[in-house]
Structure 1
Amino acid sequence: MPRAVRERQMLDAAVEVFARRGYSAASMDEIAELAGASKPLVYLYLNSKEELYGACIRRESRALLDAVQSAADPEDSADRRLWCGLRAFFAHTAAHPSAWAMLSCQARIHGEPFAQALAELRQEIVDFVAQLIAAAGRDQERAGAALDAEEVSGLAHALVGAAESLAGWANTRADAAPPAKETAATLMNVTWAGLENLLNGQRWAPVRP
């Protein structure tokens, strides 16, 4: 079997085991058995449990980011690009629940350097969303539509955090998970509707008692 194919099998098996057991409890014996390989062969190809875990994080991070970015056509409007990106995000996390469990939970638990790799993935997604929000402001060209850089960054972080939470909710429901399109629409109804108010100069303010 070609080395690339064998390594992919090992990484696939490792993602499943790390998601189910966590880094500390996962065993190379179980990973090797699930991959249909010997433990010495796993060590030969991927050197150590730590390096194997790092390879899984990097592969799954890149796959998720590619799915989100490739779904958004740069020729589309900002809201359409965000909609397509969110739909791709929820479709990918639903199709790869073990990978998402490892990225969203296990990497944080294990800590550095894996938490740093996850933070970098998250920041790339936040930057992508921030660009869309800033583009929406430029597209509107309405009075009161100006959003400063700090506000754009805050809105992007809030939206990405909500998307992460929704993905976790959808993947752990006891009944059937909602379609990615439906989950994306839920988030668009909350965030884009509010953003439109901002771009129209309508800002929320607390009512005095």
Structure 2
Amino acid sequence: MRALWSMLALVTLLGCESTYYNAMEKVGVHKRDILVDRVDEAKGAQLETQQQFKDALSEFRAVVSIEGGDLEARYKRLKNEYDDSETAARNLSERIEKVESVAEALFDEWEDELKLYSNSRLRADSESKLKATQRQYRGLLSAMQRSEKSVEPVLAALRDNVLYLKHNLNASAIGALKGELNTIDRDVQKLISAMESSIKESDEFIRQLK
């Protein structure tokens, strides 16, 4: 039953997207323009995610490095950073999905319209440009998906540590969390690197498409 509902939701989403593209086309905004905008929005989401996880790392470092103080308050600050990180990760995934949606629609339309050419030279040139754009897009999507996956281990580690601190608000809990700092630090650095690579791919893709 869950699979059925997921399929229905996907069909509904695709139908809504198709209606949106058609409406935008009527006012002179084409799928190529929407793709550029969505890639730029995904790039912005990556920058926000990158900064949010830096902030979460800073808060985690503060929690495990400060002796004494109000453990409840420190837990709440870390929990807030985790919640913000979860929101940023969800927003990033949604932005990437929107990029995929319009890219697929654009390429399907482009391929269909190749059949309408009567001039073989122009058709061949357009087909060559389509294939080049698809190749570059695949590189972009791969970079985006790597950046998205880099979020998962950091989010999981933060969740584990927030839960542990919630149920163990004492000095020994802080000592236990200290051992997690290096792992989280390493994973955040991997996340930042993956985001930077994807952001560069986004800039280049936008430049080529405009």
TM-score normalised to the size of structure 1? 0.30
More contact order relative to length (CA 8 Å, sep ≥ 6): 2
Larger Rg: 2
Higher helix share: 2
TM value normalised by structure 2 = 0.30
